Amino acid sequence: MKFFKLSSPALLFCALSISVDAHADDPPATAAAAADPATAATAADPATAPDPAALGASPAPARAAPAAGKEVEPPKAVQRKVSLDPKAAITPTVGRTTFDIDPIADSAMIAVSLGFAGTLELVNSTGEIRPQQISPTFDRNSLIWIDRSAAKRTPDPHAGTYSTIGLGAALAFAFVDPVLSGVRENSVQTGLADAFMYSEALSFTLAMTNVVKMAVRRPRPIAYIEAAKHPGDQNNSTDSALSFFSGHSAITATVGATATYLAFARSPHTARPWITLLASVGLTTFVSVERVRAGRHFPTDVIAGSVVGAGIGLAVPHLHRTEDIKQRRIWVGFTPLDNAEVGQGGLLNVSGVF
């Protein structure tokens, strides 16, 4: 006996040929008989149809009928298109404000701002930019009325230290607040978003402060006081001509405005945002007053710095605000590990969509 080996395409072609021939020439009962004896018997006499199990054949699986009014979409249909754009992950929570962060774009803006501000700081430290000289004949009554007293009073030697402590407290809060937000909402994403917004607002403020100081080069009040004590002496300190506007006031106001905005957005119906607002205004006022008492700035310098800092602190989180919860751009996971060789530890995984 000879056996013939057919490949899968040949078998498929034969099966298709039989099916086409049966449908084309044979009556329904004959075509069914060619495919299945049980089906033929059923077609001839339903009452005498044999059991498929008795013939050694497994019953044919039932085919799911297509849903009424629903057809299979073609492969190139728009409905079957796959996109990598972020989609809504969950239904937005009513009354909850969310913030969208792009790690690449936001990190680039932070790096550019800090790099620009740092370069200006290096230029200032070299002394190559000569400060403006106060003329011995300059009438101090020509100053803005609110600034006149600052150019005549004796500076407080401790006020500068107090203002620096206030600035440090503001920066410490900017570091701690994102951690508290992440713990409060049990979300690493929330903490990272707040950290990015604080960093971006502070870097913008620092860069703008240094640019304006270099452009205006207004003498500090202490420079006027020293010029009155030592008429005719040349002032060689670049820092003495960087009065406008106050960096301490601007940075403190930036942190306070950002914290207040986030507090109202995340806890709108609690006492937290109002407490944050009062604390921010109080700390900014304290730092500003101490900068004036130290002879480092005029009142208009600290007012301008506070306004600029508060504006940046409000604008940055507002521009990141979104009304829906989008797909995560960055994932952070931690897996605890307990190994006999290395002891207790963990594995930190960071991944994202860029």
Whether residue 125 has pLDDT greater than 70: yes
Average pLDDT for 326-336: 63
Q: Would you state the pLDDT for residue 348?
A: 74
Q: Would you state the pLDDT for residue 261?
A: 97
Cβ–Cβ under 8 Å, residues 40 and 55: no
Q: Would you state the pLDDT for residue 23?
A: 43
Q: How confident is the model at residue 9 (pLDDT cuts 50, 70, 90)?
A: very low
Q: Among all chains, which residue has been given the structure tokens 């009554």? A: 141
Q: Would you state the pLDDT for residue 42?
A: 46
Q: Would you state the pLDDT for residue 22?
A: 40
Q: Would you state the pLDDT for residue 229?
A: 85
d(CA 62, CA 262): 59
Whether residue 289 has pLDDT greater than 90: yes
* Assigned token pair, 113: 């701002």
DSSP secondary structure, 293-323, as one string: HTTS--HHHHHHHHHHHHHHHHHHHHHTEES
Each domain of the chain, given as residue ranges in start order, spans: 105-130+150-322
Q: Would you state the pLDDT for residue 95?
A: 55
Average pLDDT for 187-193: 92
- Which has the minimum average pLDDT: 29-33, 45-49, 87-91, 168-172? 29-33
Q: Over the stretch 20-40, which tens digit does the pLDDT of each residue have?
A: 444 444 444 444 444 444 444
Q: Is the pTM of this model over 0.85?
A: no
- Which has the minimum average pLDDT: 56-60, 126-130, 194-198, 342-346? 56-60
Decide: helix, strand or coil at residue 207.
Answer: helix
Q: Would you state the pLDDT for residue 320?
A: 93
What are the two backbone dihedrals, phi and then psi, of residue 198, each rounded to the nearest 5 degrees? -60, -45
Average pLDDT for 143-170: 94
Average pLDDT for 315-335: 72
Average pLDDT for 122-145: 87
Percent of the chain topping pLDDT 90: 50
The domain over range 105-130+150-322 is classified in CATH as 1.20.1740: no
Whether residue 299 has pLDDT greater than 90: yes
Whether residue 51 has pLDDT greater than 60: no
Percent of the chain topping pLDDT 70: 67
- Which has the minimum average pLDDT: 8-17, 130-139, 249-258, 295-304? 8-17
- Which has the minimum average pLDDT: 5-14, 177-186, 200-209? 5-14
DSSP secondary structure, 121-177, as one string: HHHHHHT-SPPPPPPTT--GGGS-GGGTGGGTSPPPTTHHHHHHHHHHHHHHHHHHH
